Amino acid sequence: MRRVAITGVGLVTPAGLGRESTWKRVLSGKSTATRISYFDPEPYRTHIACEVRGFDGERYFAKRDLKHTDKFVQYAVASTVEALADAGFEDGKIPPATAEMWAVYFGSGMGGLKRIEDTHRTLLEKGPRRISPYFVPDSIINMAAGIISMRFGLKGPSLSHVSACATGAHSIGEAVRLIERGDADAAIAGGTDADITPIGIGGFAAMRAMSMRNEEPERASRPFDKERDGFVMGEGAGALVLEELEAAKARGATIYAEVAGYAATSDAHHITTPSPDGDGAIRCMTKALKDAGVSASELSYVNAHGTSTMANDKTESIAIRKALGSFADSVPVSSTKAVTGHMLGAAGAVEIALCALAIRDQVVPPTGNHESPGEGCDLDYIPKEARQMKVVSTMSNSFGFGGTNATVVLRNL
């Protein structure tokens, strides 16, 4: 099969409005969590989140269009603009002759949640005749991919994968498969979510899944730490430009890394809780490494799903140890969610992008707030400070509700 390269990266995250600002903050290990500003969080169990600050939608949309464009779509478009420019396509101009072979695989975990909330309020207060005709297209998940394909004239397959917190990783992995088998030559792939809303926060808080460290938001997201008490919600988007390797070389593109391996599995265990033995995650990592032709001894770094929840962190640690065997103690692991919070459907795409940057700069990010390992968490979590080291290959894990798993392996060229 054909090989696939990452040639462009675009990020909109709580850590920064762009690739380099996000990367700098992630390497610092400093959390972005603060008290929620979008609405009054006082009645809720959780008062904190990692919000995207300073984002200006008018940089990407006309004012009239912003009124009916949910933030999850705005973030997706903004990250794509940066990724295309980074790949050398200034102003997002794709040659028309190649447009039919460009795909858009851009997913979301929950789509236009705020638009749904706002429209429901309008229905109750003003009646059905006041519902906007833009409501449906503004809130459906595939509109992120749809708007991107329209904005840049990309006429290949346009799909939005929906697999909860594994969405971004599945979107990238499946786009890679598309290029490998020749159904596309290039793709915009990624994930986006904007769910810091009353019902979003209320729903996850009702599950007791979120941190309640409301008085110390900057210390709340602490993956693999014994004091962790739940995840902190984030938002934003991550976009990658993926190209067939030889074509990317031929046009002189700067290549971050090769997407060498990908796998997807299911736990078949529980709607929210991972299988305690880590079976689904183990199989996912093992398959992805085999697909990449990378052995555990050759793996440089693991960007863990690392949500800062009791069940996930322990189970993932067990799974990484079993998947890597005797090499588990020599492969550093970190969770960048300590900085960004859990960006839900965007998380996997952002974290794969961070792996590409780790390969570029030969440095791996720390696990912020990690002080003392929790029970069952016995790996090298790169506590607090980034680590300069030789980075040849990376592995990124993403696990979602419904027991769905995705692992992507990158390799330096």
Domain boundaries, the chain: 4-250, 261-411
DSSP state of 294: -
Q: Do domains 4-250 and 261-411 have the same CATH topology?
A: yes
Of 47, 50, 161, 165, which is the active-site residue?
165
pLDDT at 92: 84
Known catalytic residue: 165? yes
In single-letter form, the type of residue at position 266 comes to S
Mean pLDDT of 108-117: 96
Mean pLDDT of 278-292: 98
pLDDT at 370: 97
Which of these CATH numbers, 3.30.750.24, 3.40.640.10, 3.40.47.10, 3.40.50.720, describes 4-250?
Answer: 3.40.47.10
H/E run at residue 84: helix 71-86
Known catalytic residue: 47? no
pLDDT at 58: 96
Residue 311: pLDDT band with limits 50, 70, 90: very high
CATH code for residues 261-411 = 3.40.47.10
pLDDT tens digit sequence for 230-273: 999 999 999 999 999 999 999 999 999 999 999 999 999 999 99
pLDDT at 267: 95
Q: How far is CA 339 from CA 169, 232, 297, in A?
A: 19, 10, 28
Rounded to the nearest integer, the mean pLDDT of the chain is 97
Of 47, 170, 342, 370, which is the active-site residue?
342
pLDDT at 329: 97
Instruction: Show the tokens assigned to 346.
Output: 């965007």
DSSP state of 252: T
pLDDT at 250: 96
pLDDT at 91: 83
pLDDT at 90: 82
DSSP state of 354: H
Of 305, 355, 370, 377, which is the active-site residue?
305
The torsion of the CA quartet 366, 336, 370, 401, rounded to 10 degrees, works out to: -150
Known catalytic residue: 305? yes
Q: What are the residues whose beta carbons fall under 8 Å from the beta carbon of 310, sequence distance 6 or more?
A: 228, 229, 374
Mean pLDDT of 17-22: 98
Question: How do 186-193 and 102-108 pair as beta strands?
Answer: parallel
Mean pLDDT of 110-121: 96
Q: How far is CA 206 from CA 73, 212, 213, in A?
A: 27, 12, 15
Residue showing tokens 């949910």? 70
pLDDT tens digit sequence for 338-393: 999 999 999 999 999 999 999 999 999 999 999 999 999 999 999 989 999 999 99
pLDDT at 130: 97
With beta carbons less than 8 A apart as the criterion, state whether 118 and 197 touch. no
pLDDT at 1: 83
* Whether the model pTM is above 0.95: yes
Give the number of other CB atoms < 10 A from CB of residue 21: 13
- Asked if the model's pLDDT at residue 141 lies above 90, the reply is yes
The torsion of the CA quartet 39, 41, 44, 46, rounded to 10 degrees, works out to: 120
Nearest to 197 by CA among 299, 114, 74, 90: 114
